[in-house]
Amino acid sequence: MGKRSSGAPTLSDVAALAGVSPATASKALNGRGEVAAATRTRVLDAAEKLAFQPNALARSLVSGNSSTIGLLTSDSGGRFSIPVLLGAENALGDNQISVLLADARGDVIRERHYVRTLLAQQVAGLIVVGESSNRRASIGRDLAVPVVYAYAESTDPQDLSLLPDDRVGARMAVEHLHSVGRRKIAHITGPVDYRATRDRVTGLTEFLQEAGLPLAGREVRYGEWSQRWGRHAAEFVLNDDPDVDAIFCGSDQVAAGVTETLAARGVRVPDDIALVGFDNWEIFSSETSPPLTTVDMNLQRLGATAAQHLFAAIGGEKITGVQHLPCRLVIRDSSGGR
């Protein structure tokens, strides 16, 4: 047959079948230059018949710009990187752009290795996703391709970092509790060395002060991102402050634990205590009883925005600094808010 030795048909095969030169075939397929309508259809038919797929590698080699971007992540569960990836893929759309994913597992050595590998693959840009949104070392300044940090903040202010607006997100959560009549709001959250934890506390505190409310439950309960901690902390809160009428949790996972303790002690949600989580991690937020009102960080949108900025930067439009993207309140039954 008209095929070459190793499988896939090439542009030359198509050209030969259509009885034209490779150059003309290229123009016809890409809609560039002047090609007679008749020849164009001949070429298109030939390509169709051979199931021709242009070799993206060769194309990139000549054009200089590759059709892939790199996604460098460190969250081994994919908790953040997958939504970001989906968002990026969405934004990339039919641009024929692919995503090269590398999981550095929080290891700096491996990370450097992957950066090199990705660059060797001629990625057009890099998105760096953190295992948390904490500040982290920049992967470097002069990388030949633009870099966007998504759900991660680079220590280098010359980099562009995209973060969810945890502060305002938390504020929305507490505002909501306030709007449904709660006045004794406690806060159970994760480790204090997470930027997200602190920002959420800030948003909470700001609102309480403006509303002239004290924090219930004696103090902010810092702990771990786990159901276990949620269960224990809820005990502490209830013991120290039986009048609490709402608990805002720093994550849905923690809220799931809180729910268990409330159920065990016969406390009704939301009648006795209203509950709001954070993350909209559906395996928790949709599965507690009752389902959880929570704050969605819009990670997909974050990923989409990252991809857009990457394109802008490739086009020369470089932006630096930290951008906070809005969160979204998802109201379910646990807050009695609907």
From candidates 23, 57, 108, 211, binder to its own copies by CB under 8 A: 57
* Cα end-to-end distance, the chain, whole Å: 68
- State the minimum distance, in angstroms, from the CB of residue 102 to its own copies: 7
- State the minimum distance, in angstroms, from the CB of residue 14 to DNA: 7
Closest-CA residue to 205 (of 166, 150, 251):
166
- Residues in region 16-75 near DNA by CB under 7 A: 19-24, 26-27, 29-30, 32-36, 38-39, 52-55, 58-59, 61-64
The enclosing H or E element of 230 equals helix 227-240
Q: Does 329 bind its own copies (CB under 8 A)?
A: no
- State the minimum distance, in angstroms, from the CB of residue 46 to DNA: 12
Specify whether the CB–CB gap between 280 and 287 falls below 8 A. Answer: no
- Of 66 and 288, nearer to DNA (C-beta) is 66
Q: Does 86 bind its own copies (CB under 8 A)?
A: yes
Tokens read off for 278: 């954070």
* Distance separating alpha carbons of residues 169 and 323, to the nearest angstrom: 14
Task: Give the phi and the psi of residue 56 in degrees, each rounded to 5.
Answer: -60, -30
**Residue 159 vs residues 88, 142, 156, 297: alpha-carbon distances, Å:** 19, 11, 6, 21
Determine the size of the site formed for its own copies (CB under 8 A). Answer: 53
The enclosing H or E element of 102 equals strand 98-103
Using CB under 7 A as the criterion, which residues of the chain lie in contact with DNA when the complex forms? 4, 6, 8, 10-12, 19-24, 26-27, 29-30, 32-36, 38-39, 52-55, 58-59, 61-64
Residues that bind its own copies (CB under 8 A): 6-8, 53-58, 60-61, 64, 66-68, 71, 76-78, 81-82, 85-86, 89, 96, 98-103, 105, 116-122, 144, 226-228, 231, 253, 257, 260, 263-264, 283, 287-289
